[in-house]
Chain A
């Protein structure tokens, strides 16, 4: 019992705790709303449902995991969304136009995205250009490249290739979940290597990491390449889900993944982990689902009630905003800052607030 209490205490101190709280709230809301709406209380737990939800959202969750890796080293990349489209476009076009096997397309796509990530790393860590600007510029460059490779949405993936991705192993385990878990295990492995410590050190304070004998540029480059790999996997998942190509899709994942990371409890540099990304992205997805079910329930019980998706988005965005507020309250340091801020407003001076 003691060890359990200790583990809970330990978990409460970690940055992922905030994301976990939000995730749990959203999960409960989703289960309730879906149950009420469909009339079956446990509708959420139907394999067909959670399987398709995971499959659809795996690219977004993976992108957020990749983004969280960059945030740890003090960078972020808003072009990460359009990079998914790049992977998708190459996956489709290499077999279609060059007649090469499908795996060659995947390999080429992965290689291209690693190259893009290396270029992003060179600009942001080696040349020290602001990550925001580099991401913005890369969005347009990659969009241009995508459209020049594939001028309009097209292409297809053979059934025998995409079907396995969309199935449930043993009728209960979605393949998409396995992909997410595999990437997460990879992260846990990295975290336990010296590189894991160095990622945090560089994000926390590059100067001090340098003084400790760590090369910030090298570490940030490695983080970028890892990010490139994860986004590559996400892009392949996207291709298998859509079974076609679209050069301009998923652009908004860039900003959304960043927001999901912050919701999950990450800071800008040296604070948070990939679990924050997973929780944040899941919160995002579950809230949108819950709001959808809420409104469809309303339209069922109130005759003539119809709401456009804009209103649904408004409600889910307000909930996201509330989520951000929750991150302030659950994260210890931020809670302290908030307290001090309020204290200053009402009492003035540099307050000493006990934690």
Chain B
């Protein structure tokens, strides 16, 4: 049995774990649950020896231990399959499976015959269909996930940690995996299973531990929880028992339809999504992280190529081949990944603001310094960006002001449609409210705004309609009275009416 007590971990000002505790009994499968950013992955990494906690203790069979490295963890029989995969893409399947655990001949060489046999057995057991000599980088992501788990199991651990191991797996693979996990449990292994899919918890797990905001809020046998309870402890909100239907009738709207998307597909991330945005509207896109929101926006912009469906922009059918064309036609994208996708940190604030204007105008036009300065000054004033001097490097600004700068860059150009991908990520509450104000003003002037956000409160506050994404599809549209946190939570979990009811029944049966 392994116990983790009062584990804390902070990265700078961000507190990832605030005294989280978990008990992992032998011969049981323990579900570790929580919403995004609740600290599940950090807790797993602490036990795997990849993150050293700031305080707290780890006990194995009652004895306190310190786990300093991946090696330490393995020596204590702890093996992990990571969510972000620890495979080496440029090595073969066989090398990856045996890495750090190679069978040896008496002369210290790798025993090839034995290796072949072990790899064959493992691949048969996990029903992995590829050649042991294939390079991992050439395999589909579901096969890679299976390999990651097979690698962890091959180490004959006493404790097996699976960090969102099923996220990329197909149905048949999940069935194979669950059988293996039940087998291992019956052999006395302790298994920790991190997942976002609630039905897997009831199907597979014996115990559940729920984290919220870096703390353990509840733990106990799975049979003591209903689905409603789990969601409640994870989010702090009770789930609506009757989630809203797939379609809400589109009320008549003023303003021209700026964007009409029909059945847009970009497999495997976006499947059959339809959406309409009118001038003056602010549309929200909600959902857990990575449900296809970003890809959907980039497909509209032409940064990714759709494989199916149609996009009409300002009444005309369009298929942009690259973002430059979309920008020229009157779109703008603001990304929450400031450093990666929006900022030129070493250039001046003025240049950063002017970048949007520079992108839409003729390439060889003359740009007097005065003109650039005036344009930037106006933007700084209008959008209340707090700066020292226009000539300072953009990296000198605070996160919130950097984000306002990026928003100003695009709004100042006056696009007809503004796409915002989680624009307030890591932005303080005050700047966030200001950004909302700017967006509202722009919408009033006739711009259509589509904003995705990982924070549901933000969407409920600013958007007139919210499309909730789940596994690449729109699981429901909320507007008017249906825009409540409860409805949003259940749609984010992928529950439509029947699905939610079915699971509720199941969990109640299990309880009885």
Contacts and interface: CB of A to CB of B under 8 A. Distances in A.
B88 A349 contact: no
Interface in A163-213: 189, 192-194, 196-198, 200-201, 204-205, 207-213
A197 B321 contact: no
A204 B85 CA distance: 13
Contact of B50 (A189, A197, A211, A352): A211
B166 interface: no
Interface in B86-107: 86-91, 95, 98-102, 104
Contacts of A347: 321
Nearest to B48: A211
B99 A214 contact: yes
A349 B48 contact: no
A197 B90 contact: no
B110 A197 contact: yes
A10 interface: yes
Interface string A319-355: 0000000000000010000000000100111111000
Contacts of A204: 88-91
User: Quick one: which of B91, B101, B102, B320 has the most chain A CB within 10 A?
Assistant: B91
Interface stretch (B279-287, B302-310, B337-345, B358-366): B302-310
Given A192-B109, A194-B104, A350-B305, A200 B91 contact: yes
Contacts of A194: 102, 104, 108, 110
Interface in A212-264: 212-215
Contact of A197 (B80, B98, B304, B322): B98
B136 to A, nearest CB: 10
User: Quick one: which of B69, B74, B80, B110 has the most chain A CB within 10 A?
Assistant: B110
User: Quick one: which of B71, B90, B112 has the most chain A CB within 10 A?
Assistant: B90
A14 to B, nearest CB: 10
A197 B70 contact: no
A192 B110 CA distance: 6
Given A193-B108, A200-B91, A270-B90, A210 B70 contact: yes
Contact of A214 (B100, B109, B133): B100
Contact of B302 (A10, A333, A348, A352): A348
Given A198-B100, A201-B91, A270-B91, A213 B71 contact: yes
Contacts of B302: 348-349
Contacts of B322: 344, 348-349
A197 B103 CA distance: 12
Nearest to B87: A208
Contacts, number: 93
Interface string B294-338: 000000001111000000000000001110010000000000000
A267 B89 CA distance: 13
Contacts of A189: 109
A328 B263 CA distance: 39
User: Quick one: which of A194, A200, A333, A352 has the most chain B CB within 10 A?
Assistant: A194
Interface residues of B, number: 36
Given A201-B99, A205-B88, A348-B325, A211 B82 contact: yes
A207 B133 CA distance: 23
Interface in A100-158: none
Contact of A200 (B95, B104, B304): B95
Contacts of B70: 210-213
A208 B90 contact: no
B102 A197 contact: yes
A271 interface: yes
Contacts of A207: 86
Contacts of B303: 349-350
A350 B99 CA distance: 33
Interface in B111-170: 112, 133, 137
Given A214-B100, A348-B325, A208 B88 contact: yes
Given A208-B87, A271-B90, A350-B305, A10 B133 contact: yes
A201 B70 CA distance: 14
Contacts of A214: 71, 99-100
A209 B88 contact: yes
A2 to B, nearest CB: 16
A351 B305 contact: yes
A208 B101 CA distance: 14
Contacts of A348: 302, 320-322, 325
Nearest to B136: A204
Interface string B59-78: 00000000001110010000
A322 to B, nearest CB: 26
A18 to B, nearest CB: 15
User: Quick one: which of B74, B88, B137, B304 has the most chain A CB within 10 A?
Assistant: B88
Nearest to A10: B133
A210 B305 CA distance: 37
Contacts of A201: 88, 91, 95, 99-100
Contacts of B321: 347-349
A349 B95 contact: no
Interface in B236-259: none
A202 to B, nearest CB: 9
A38 to B, nearest CB: 44
A208 B91 CA distance: 12
Contacts of B325: 348
Contacts of A210: 50, 69-70
Given A192-B109, A348-B322, A349-B304, A212 B69 contact: no
Contact of A349 (B89, B102, B305): B305
Interface string B426-451: 00000000000000000000000000
Contacts of A352: 305
A60 B176 CA distance: 54
Nearest to A270: B90
A352 B267 CA distance: 12
A237 B365 CA distance: 63
Interface string A295-331: 0000000000000000000000000000000000000
B109 A212 contact: no
A162 to B, nearest CB: 36
B339 to A, nearest CB: 20
B333 to A, nearest CB: 14
A200 to B, nearest CB: 6
Interface of B: 48, 50, 69-71, 74, 80, 82, 85-91, 95, 98-102, 104, 108-110, 112, 133, 137, 302-305, 320-322, 325
Q: Nearest 3 A-B pairs (CB), nearest first?
A: A348-B321, A348-B322, A204-B88
25 contacts: A189-B109, A192-B110, A193-B110, A194-B108, A200-B90, A204-B91, A208-B85, A208-B86, A209-B99, A209-B100, A210-B50, A211-B48, A211-B86, A212-B70, A212-B86, A212-B99, A213-B69, A213-B70, A213-B74, A213-B101, A214-B71, A214-B100, A267-B90, A349-B321, A350-B305
Interface of A: 10, 189, 192-194, 196-198, 200-201, 204-205, 207-215, 267, 270-271, 333, 344, 347-352
Given A194-B102, A201-B91, A348-B320, 7 more contacts: A197-B102, A200-B91, A208-B87, A213-B74, A215-B69, A347-B321, A348-B325
